């Protein structure tokens, strides 16, 4: 097979890149190891920054998002028995959209299949060759046969455990990571959200978050140990703990319903530098992971591929490689700002066992944020998304 850009991974990064390239007349082939049903049902992020919403709208894949997504103009911080609202519209003139990642993936898959562009599911990419040459190759298995893609560039959008991040020789990529001493127990429940906006709660028993996927499905989280056994958490125990952590006098936003999904996710930060080796470019989770507190994961992936698509357009239309040469540096500036914001939100809202000083310091920090115009603006501009 021959194409201009081989894309490994059909998550938001890979599919959005393929879509942006198609609109610019650049050919690509997308390989995805999982089947379509799995990819379209994989529960991940659920909040889109203003820039991501605008990009989907401008590129013709936002119709269902605008019809079904929930537009939010702020968030609520709940601590010390009180609720404080951060108004994004008032402070920075932007909003966010609650729209699940799997729905974004469905929209992008439908678009790609609609214009009959190559998208191969159950295609296991197992080798990248010649990444530092003018003609790199991707080898993959599909339909019981071995295949090879000859291309100009490779986009590694295959996540933390994919092959792209490991395709460069030893020492070409540096990695930076941070493990947090807690995880998130997350549930999906058949219950209407008890709040019209997300509630982030700092509580003496641990952090909690109330969010949603639709007017009838709630997504809720509890801070737990990173190695917590989900079997120890009955539905009744989960609901009891959510009531404890999210309620304040006069307001209990937790509406119980049937829990149909629950899991525990450890919290970590990770960055690979640079995000390029030769003609191999990393994007999304293959290059960086952030704790979900700041809702940056999917949005960073979209920002990466937007930069990459523009750089590839410059290369193919004018022979200009400046965008490709600057891809990693440009993306990493945004990545590290997002890492800081996610770390800040995480350390400000999660409780640290046995550290009475730090737990009291958090309350002081939260008070400083909600009672300062500058503090509210900093949170709002980062949460709703830095301009592209």
Catalytic residue check, 72: yes
Catalytic residue among 99, 221, 316, 383: 383
Using CA atoms, how far apart are residues 17 and 307, in angstroms rounded to an integer?
10
Catalytic residue check, 383: yes
- Say if CB 185 and CB 241 are below 8 A apart: no
Catalytic residue check, 200: yes
Confidence of residue 50 (pLDDT cuts 50, 70, 90): very high
Using CA atoms, how far apart are residues 160 and 169, in angstroms rounded to an integer?
17
Catalytic residue check, 126: no
Catalytic residue among 200, 221, 316, 327: 200
The domain ranges of the chain are: 5-72+95-176+268-344, 180-267+351-383
- Stretch 145-163: mean pLDDT, rounded? 96
Q: What pLDDT shows up at residue 45? A: 75
- Say if CB 124 and CB 141 are below 8 A apart: yes
138-153 pLDDT, tens per residue? 999 999 999 999 999 9
Give backbone dihedrals phi and psi of 166, rounded to 5 degrees, phi first.
-105, 10
Using CA atoms, how far apart are residues 369 and 375, in angstroms rounded to an integer?
4
Confidence of residue 238 (pLDDT cuts 50, 70, 90): very high
Catalytic residue among 12, 19, 72, 277: 72
Using CA atoms, how far apart are residues 36 and 40, in angstroms rounded to an integer?
6
190-208 pLDDT, tens per residue? 999 999 999 999 999 999 9
Using CA atoms, how far apart are residues 17 and 281, in angstroms rounded to an integer?
12
What CATH code is assigned to 5-72+95-176+268-344?
Answer: 3.50.50.60
Write down the pTM of the prediction: 0.95
79-129 pLDDT, tens per residue? 999 999 999 999 999 999 999 999 999 999 999 999 999 999 999 999 999
Half-sphere exposure of 283 (CA within 13 A, CB side): 32
The DSSP code for 286 is G
- Say if CB 290 and CB 339 are below 8 A apart: yes
Q: Which two tokens stand for residue 347?
A: 């350390």
Using CA atoms, how far apart are residues 67 and 282, in angstroms rounded to an integer?
32
Half-sphere exposure of 153 (CA within 13 A, CB side): 25
Give backbone dihedrals phi and psi of 77, rounded to 5 degrees, phi first.
-105, 130
323-380 pLDDT, tens per residue? 999 999 999 999 999 999 999 999 999 998 878 898 899 999 999 999 999 999 999 9
SS3 state of residue 268: strand
Using CA atoms, how far apart are residues 346 and 357, in angstroms rounded to an integer?
17
- Say if CB 35 and CB 109 are below 8 A apart: no
Average pLDDT, the chain: 96
Q: Which CATH class is domain 180-267+351-383?
A: alpha beta
Catalytic residue among 136, 253, 291, 292: 292
Catalytic residue among 193, 296, 327, 350: 296
The DSSP code for 254 is -
């Amino acid at each position: 097979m021959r194409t201009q850009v081989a894309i490994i991974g059909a998550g938001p990064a890979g599919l959005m890149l393929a879509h942006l390239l198609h609109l610019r007349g650049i050919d690509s082939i997308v390989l995805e190891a999982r089947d379509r049903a799995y990819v379209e049902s994989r529960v991940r992020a659920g909040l889109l920054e203003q820039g991501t919403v605008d990009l989907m709208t401008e590129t013709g894949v936002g119709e269902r998002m605008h019809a079904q997504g929930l537009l939010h103009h702020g968030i609520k911080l709940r601590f010390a028995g009180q609720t404080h609202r951060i108004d994004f519209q008032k402070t920075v003139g932007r909003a966010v959209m609650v729209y699940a990642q799997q729905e974004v993936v469905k929209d992008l898959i439908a678009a790609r299949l609609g214009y009959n562009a190559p998208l191969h599911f159950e295609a296991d990419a197992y080798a990248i060759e010649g990444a530092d040459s003018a003609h790199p190759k991707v080898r993959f298995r599909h339909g019981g046969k071995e295949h090879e893609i000859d291309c100009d560039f490779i986009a590694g959008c295959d996540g933390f455990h994919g092959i792209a991040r490991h395709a460069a020789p030893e020492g070409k990529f540096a990695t930076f990571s941070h493990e947090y001493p807690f995880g998130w127990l997350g549930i999906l429940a058949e219950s209407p959200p008890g709040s019209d906006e997300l509630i982030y709660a700092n509580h003496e028993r641990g952090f909690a978050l109330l969010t949603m996927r639709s007017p009838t499905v709630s997504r809720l989280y509890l801070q737990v140990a990173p190695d917590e056994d989900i079997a120890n958490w009955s539905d009744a125990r989960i609901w009891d703990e959510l009531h404890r952590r999210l309620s304040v006098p006069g307001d209990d936003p937790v509406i119980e319903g049937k829990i149909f999904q629950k899991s525990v996710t450890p919290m970590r930060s990770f960055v690979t530098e640079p995000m390029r080796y030769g003609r191999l470019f990393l994007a999304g989770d293959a290059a960086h992971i952030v704790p979900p507190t700041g809702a940056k994961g999917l949005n960073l992936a979209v920002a990466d591929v937007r930069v990459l698509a523009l750089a590839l357009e410059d290369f193919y239309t004018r022979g200009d490689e400046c965008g490709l040469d600057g891809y990693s540096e440009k993306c990493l500036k945004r990545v590290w700002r997002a890492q800081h914001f996610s770390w800040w939100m995480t350390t400000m809202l999660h409780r640290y066992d046995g550290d009475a000083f730090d737990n009291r310091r958090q309350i002081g920090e939260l008070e400083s944020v909600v009672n300062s115009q500058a503090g509210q603006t900093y949170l709002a501009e980062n949460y709703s998304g830095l301009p592209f």
